[in-house]
Amino acid sequence: MMRLDPRYTWMRQVAALAALLAVWEAADRANLLNPIYAPSPSRVGAALVDLFADGRIWPHLEATFGAALGGLALGILVGVVLGVVAALVPFIAELLEPVMTVLNAIPRVILAPLFVIWLGIGLASKVALSFILVAVLIFFTVFTGIRQVDRRLVERVVTLGGNRRALVRHVYLPSVASWVLGNLKIAVGFAFTGACVGEFVAATEGLGYLLSFAQSTYNAALMFALILLILVVVLLIFGLAGRLEKHLLRWN
Amino acid sequence: MHDLTISYGGEPVLEGASLAVGDGSFVSLVGPSGSGKSSLLRAVIGLQRPLSGTVETGLAPSQIGILFQDDALLPWKTARENVALGLTFNGMVRGKALAEADAWLARLDLAGLGDRFPRRLSGGQRKRVALAQVLAMRPKLMLMDEPFASLDAIVRARVVKDLVALVEREKISVLLVTHDLEEALSLSDDVYLLSQGPRARITEHYDVPLPRPRDPVLSRTHPAFAPLYERLWADLSREVDQRAEAA
Ligand SMILES: Nc1ncnc2c1ncn2[C@@H]1O[C@H](COP(=O)(O)OP(=O)(O)OP(=O)(O)O)[C@@H](O)[C@H]1O
Ligand SMILES: [Mg+2]
């Protein structure tokens, strides 16, 4: 077997992708593909350029970002608080755990229509969907995490003379932070899923709304362009989340 | 410690254990696995409530240090911060505690490693940091639960040597739990033998007449060492055999 130099993996991958796109483009030029279903890379590129050229993409990007980041922040906040409270107060845990378990088991995006009825087709229903996706994830991360805090660390701090506050500050908070950060990328993915699906269901702006518009007008080029755009956006945020994680968990 | 009985709900793990650690003396407790050695140390420091019996140290909690089998350093704090932790809990301002921590790290041959996180230290280095963490509190009594078990022989000998020198100089009393009979004899003034559990008891006490200051390696060549070692070994084997027959 041929030995592959792992240093050039990315080069081979890029070359393969370029080849695929070239074949695709050539097939289109030769009229082998129906652009209604499979628009060529150049058509998709043109649609993408179009979105930015007349500037109409910006309010949509803003709407989706707003919903996703709003839901993410709220979801992390509420998930952490509920997780901590449930881990510390058995009575609350009894009440919360079954609810969260059910919410965790169902595909939570099915709540999207309900949120539209309750909160309207504006930003709030998208934030709510994003929020519920993230909050349940974070709740379980924190709840199970706190119960599994390393007993030895707790005992170490206690035997060095640390009080309850010291325990929270030096053991519990850093542990919680590390689990939340460890799940940050998944949470970001969930947040954008919530925002886009919410917009897809009923909205007047946002990337999800544009997608549903592209669908209803059979505009495959626009759809590909949007999918590409969402991909890039999420990857960018993943990159940021990864850097944050790396910095804050540099002890690991 | 007088007439200590410890139970985790069912049959007592350890029953009627009494032992004394004199001021500035080094005492070891040896015994088979599961005989309740760790439980006993945990009772001394209050992590485990005994079923009956009393522990009297006449010391404030902050004057008793414990070194666990695993080093249990906080992974998100640097070596320096870990060492300073106990000092700040007891009211020292952070800046001073960090300076003090550096001094202890240097004393234990760790100068320059203060900024490392525990993950980036070797096992022996982590053990030294844990030791510095406890010694920085200037304890009057040190409890140690097989603290060196995970170290390889050479690193272990060096850490133990530093420890003995410090303990002798600072006149710290030590209660060491170990499986290692040679280590127990070479370091201690007194050795207690715990029988096989459950219902383990302290069955023997040995005076170790080796001179101080001691070299933990060379003291093994002292003429008094071999006979003691033989006795201890015979007693421990008998203990384990008896249990095996009873079972
Ligand atoms: N938290 C606990 N709950 C219930 N039983 C326990 C607990 N901790 C220890 N035991 C039991 O108590 C007995 C004594 O345990 P301990 O850890 O004190 O033994 P040990 O002498 O330190 O053994 P080793 O040499 O293997 O460390 C064991 O039989 C163990 O199973
Ligand atoms: Mg033990």
Say what the pTM is: 0.80
CA distance B28 to B144: 9
Percent of chain A scored above 90 by pLDDT? 65
CA B180 to centroid of ligand 1, rounded, Å: 18
Strand, coil or helix: what is B93? coil
> Residue B56: which pLDDT band, with cuts at 50, 70 and 90?
confident
> Residue A252: which pLDDT band, with cuts at 50, 70 and 90?
confident
For residue A194, give the nearest of A120, A108, A121 by alpha carbon: A108
Q: Is the pLDDT assigned to residue A180 strictly greater than 80?
A: yes
Q: Is the pLDDT assigned to residue B112 strictly greater than 80?
A: yes
Q: What is the pLDDT of residue B213?
A: 83
Residue among A161, A250, A251 minimizing CB distance to B62 = A161
Q: What is the pLDDT of residue B97?
A: 94
pLDDT tens-digit map of B152-203: 888 888 888 888 888 888 889 999 998 888 889 999 999 999 888 778 788 8
CA B77 to centroid of ligand 1, rounded, Å: 30
Q: Is the pLDDT assigned to residue A1 strictly greater than 80?
A: no
Long-range contacts of B3-9 (CB under 8 A, 24+ apart): B3/B52, B3/B53, B3/B54, B4/B40, B4/B43, B4/B50, B4/B52, B4/B53, B4/B54, B4/B55, B5/B50, B5/B51, B5/B52, B5/B53, B6/B36, B6/B39, B6/B40, B6/B43, B6/B48, B6/B50, B6/B51, B7/B51, B8/B39
How many CB atoms neighbour CB A21 within 10 A?
15
A168 — contact with chain B (CB < 8 Å)?
A: no
B89 — contact with chain A (CB < 8 Å)?
A: yes
A160 — contact with chain B (CB < 8 Å)?
A: yes
Q: For residue A161, list chain B residues with Cβ-Cβ distance below 8 A.
A: 61-62, 86, 89-90, 137
> Residue B55: which pLDDT band, with cuts at 50, 70 and 90?
confident
CA distance B33 to B225: 24
Q: Is the pLDDT assigned to residue A155 strictly greater than 80?
A: yes
Cβ <8 Å between A161 and B61: yes
Between the alpha carbon of residue A168 and those of residues A84, A144, A174, A248, A250, the distances in Å are 11, 16, 8, 18, 20
Counting from 1 in the atom list of ligand 1, the atom nearest the Cα of B37 is: 21
Q: What is the dihedral of CA A22, A28, A33, A37, to 10 degrees?
A: 80
8 A C-beta contact, residue A221 and residue A47: yes
Please state the ipTM of this predicted complex. 0.86
8 A C-beta contact, residue B100 and residue B92: yes
8 A C-beta contact, residue B101 and residue B146: no
Q: Which residues contact B17 (CB under 8 A, 6 or more apart)?
A: B1, B3, B4, B5, B36, B40, B53, B194, B200, B201, B202
Q: Is the pLDDT assigned to residue A141 strictly greater than 80?
A: yes
> Residue B23: which pLDDT band, with cuts at 50, 70 and 90?
confident
Mean pLDDT of the region A200-218: 92
User: What does the angle CA A20 – CA A22 – CA A26 come to, to the nearest 5 degrees?
Assistant: 120
pLDDT tens-digit map of A65-87: 999 999 999 999 999 999 999 98
Per-residue 3-state assignment (H helix, E strand, C coil) for B193-217: EECCCCCECEEEEEECCCCCCCCCC
Find, in chain A, the residue whose alpha carbon is nearest to that of B73: A153
> Residue B133: which pLDDT band, with cuts at 50, 70 and 90?
very high
Counting from 1 in the atom list of ligand 1, the atom nearest the Cα of B36 is: 18
Q: What is the pLDDT of residue B2?
A: 66
Q: Is the pLDDT assigned to residue A230 strictly greater than 80?
A: yes
| B133 C-beta closer than 6 A to ligand 1 | no
**Residue B29: which H helix or E strand, with range?**
strand B26-30
Mean pLDDT of the region B108-118: 90
To the nearest whole number, what is the mean pLDDT of chain B? Answer: 87
pLDDT tens-digit map of B69-78: 888 899 999 9
Q: Which ligand is nearest to the Cα of residue B198, counting in written order? A: 1
Q: Is the pLDDT assigned to residue A166 strictly greater than 70?
A: yes
8 A C-beta contact, residue B192 and residue B159: no
To the nearest whole number, what is the mean pLDDT of chain A? Answer: 91
8 A C-beta contact, residue B202 and residue B18: yes
Q: What is the pLDDT of residue B247?
A: 66
B147 — contact with chain A (CB < 8 Å)?
A: no
Q: Which ligand is nearest to the Cα of residue B42, counting in written order? A: 1
Domains of chain A listed by start with CATH number: 55-248 (1.10.3720.10)
Mean pLDDT of the region B199-216: 84
Percent of chain A scored above 70 by pLDDT? 100
Mean pLDDT of the region B223-242: 86
Find, in chain A, the residue whose alpha carbon is nearest to that of B76: A251
Q: What is the pLDDT of residue B119?
A: 93
For residue B192, give the nearest of B24, B26, B4 by alpha carbon: B26
Q: What is the pLDDT of residue B241?
A: 81
Q: What is the pLDDT of residue B1?
A: 63
> Residue B17: which pLDDT band, with cuts at 50, 70 and 90?
confident
Instruction: List the B64-67 sheet strands across, edge first.
Output: B64-67, B141-145, B173-178, B26-30, B190-194, B202-207
CA distance A185 to B247: 55
Strand, coil or helix: what is B218? helix
A216 — contact with chain B (CB < 8 Å)?
A: no
